[in-house]
Structure formats: structure tokens, C-alpha cells
Amino acid sequence: MSKAISAISAAGIGLRNQHIDEILINKPDIPWLEILVDNHLAQGGLIPAQLDAISELYPLALHGVSLSLGSTSPLDMHYLQQIKNLAIRTNTVWYSEHLCFTSVNGHYSHDLLPIPYSQASLNHIVDRISQVQDFFGEQILIENVSSYMNFVDSTIPEVDFLCAVAEQADCWLLVDVNNIYVNQINHDLDAEHFIDSLPLNRIKEIHLAGFQEREDFLLDAHNHPVSKPVWQLYERLLQRKSEIPTLIEWDNDIPVLSVLLQEADKANQIRHNVEARE
Ligand SMILES: [Fe+2]
């Protein structure tokens, strides 16, 4: 997992099965792709020949949703070994996971469930991330998640917790700007303060996605274009540091490939505008 990131500062897209044939036939100019490892490891994912062909054409990042770093159950070393094998096979640039838990005692929620932001959970997740990094022999990326509830046990603001995780585990951050905005609306947080507090030397990747408006909250549904306030927060982050690889995530009601590429172009345009003003 060691390709230079300078080559992928432009915005990439999440690779979805609906687009694979078109990408392999037309070979569109996409700087990099992100694979959902859980889709690939499950039946019905990319067939190995497709994966090999894609990895020869594009730099690939691996993104996981099932490691359950925040759980108190032991880490699934078989799952991690599968990811390691996939990373080697695809010459992956990096592997990212979430600041959350998804399973307990073998029961899987299939949702990214938030953890309490307390000293005890900080110690726990730092230890778990360290275990994973020791296993891979390199740093991984940790992503902030959307949430729809707060824990009474939370004593640390989310952004401070995220910064402490990065520092103490010596890991990278994957900053999901949409998740920051969703949490601002759902929990009345200050998204601009969140963006301004992030440690720039730790950020390795940015996610952009679309939410769904519900009656009294925002759902991190990944089924819409990136919203205007999220683009504004993205620009604010790039004004602090513009050279951060960005990825467009779209997981539900997936449109034609050109729509994702237009979203990536929009991200690139914002970056160019920011750099032109510097
Ligand atoms: Fe994300």
C-alpha cells in the first residue's frame, strides 16, 4: 500500500458494479477509484479478472465497513487477512475504516453505529487501531461517521475525539464532509469549527456524498448529489489545505457513470479555484 498520493490529488469516485463494464471498455480518465472491500469479499462482488483489469488501469483505495473497530468483541483476523490479501493483489494505495462499531458477539447491524466519545472508548479504539496497523505493517485511515443519537457517556466533543484518535493511534484521517454536515443538522454542532479544528497533517482523504432529508433529521443515504452546504464546507477545508485526494461516494439509487464524473469535476473545479486564489 505505498503508491504516491500526489498522483491522485484530483477527485476520484467509488467503484460500483453498475459501472465496471463501461470503465473497462471506455477507460475514462479517472485519477483513482475506491473499492468497498465488503462488496468484493461477499459473493457477487468483482470477479478476480475484473479486479485485476481495473487495478492495472487505476490506482485503487480499499474502504471497509465491517471491521467494527469500536466493538468490544475481538477483531476478526480472518476478515483482516482477506483485506490484506486484496490490498496486495490490487497494489492498493491505502485502506480506510470508520470510527464506529458494526457488530457485537457475532451479531452484525449492517450500520455504522457511533461510539460514545469518552476517555474509556478513546483508549479502546486507539488500541484496536494500533492492532490493525501492526497487522498491516502500516497506517490506516479512520473516517468520521454520521449519527442520529448522542450517548450520555460522551464527554469529549466529536472533533476533539477524532483528533485524539489520530494522534494517539498515529493513524491517518479520512474526513467525510457530508457526515460533518449531517451531524451539524442532527445534533446542532458547529461544522465550520469542526473543519477548522482538523489536523491537516493527518488528513489523507476526503469523502463527499449526498444526504436525504427526512422529517426532522438528515440521513446519510449516499443517494443524492453533494449538497450546496457540503460543497461550501469542502471549500473551507481546501482553503486550509488544497492537496487532499477527494472521493465522490454514491451507494444507493446509483446514477449513470457520467453523473459521478460530473461531481468529481465539480470537486476539481473548487480545488482549482482555491489554488488560483492562493
Ligand atoms: Fe464516507
pLDDT tens digits, one per residue of 140-172: 999 999 988 888 899 999 999 999 999 999 999
User: Each residue of 56-74: pLDDT tens digit?
Assistant: 999 999 999 999 998 889 9
Spatial CA neighbour of 92 closest among 167, 171, 36: 36
Residue 45 lies in domain: 5-277
Per-residue confidence at 4, pLDDT binned at 50, 70, 90?
A: very low
- For the chain, give the percent of residues with pLDDT over 90: 73
pLDDT score of 163? 97
User: 85 C-alpha vs ligand 1 centroid, how far in Å?
Assistant: 23
pLDDT score of 64? 95
- How far apart (Å, rounded) are the C-alpha atoms in residues 211 and 151? 23
Our count of domains for the chain comes to 1
- Using CA atoms, how far residue 184 sits from 150, 217, 235, 249, in Å, is 13, 10, 17, 20
**Any idea which residue has 493527518 for its cell?**
202
- CA 87 centroid distance within chain: 16
The residue type of 79 is Y
User: 141 C-alpha vs ligand 1 centroid, how far in Å?
Assistant: 11
User: 143 C-alpha vs ligand 1 centroid, how far in Å?
Assistant: 7
CATH of the domain at 30: 3.20.20.150
Average pLDDT across the chain, whole number: 91
pLDDT exceeds 80 at position 5: no
Ion ligand 1, residue ranges at CB < 5 A? 176, 207
Provide the whole-model pTM: 0.93
pLDDT score of 6? 47
pLDDT score of 60? 95
User: 277 C-alpha vs ligand 1 centroid, how far in Å?
Assistant: 28
User: 65 C-alpha vs ligand 1 centroid, how far in Å?
Assistant: 10
User: 98 C-alpha vs ligand 1 centroid, how far in Å?
Assistant: 8
User: Each residue of 208-253: pLDDT tens digit?
Assistant: 999 888 888 888 888 889 999 999 999 999 999 999 999 999 988 9
Which are the contacts of 215, defined by CB distance < 8 A and separation ≥ 6? none
User: 207 C-alpha vs ligand 1 centroid, how far in Å?
Assistant: 5
Per-residue confidence at 191, pLDDT binned at 50, 70, 90?
A: very high
Would you list the DSSP string of 222-255?
S-SPPPHHHHHHHHHHHHH-----EEE---SS--
pLDDT exceeds 60 at position 7: no
Lowest mean pLDDT among 7-11, 176-180, 190-194: 7-11
- Using CA atoms, how far residue 117 sits from 27, 72, 156, 159, 187, in Å, is 44, 15, 5, 10, 14
Report residue 29 as a C-alpha cell: 480518465
Which are the contacts of 4, defined by CB distance < 8 A and separation ≥ 6? none
User: 137 C-alpha vs ligand 1 centroid, how far in Å?
Assistant: 24
User: 208 C-alpha vs ligand 1 centroid, how far in Å?
Assistant: 7
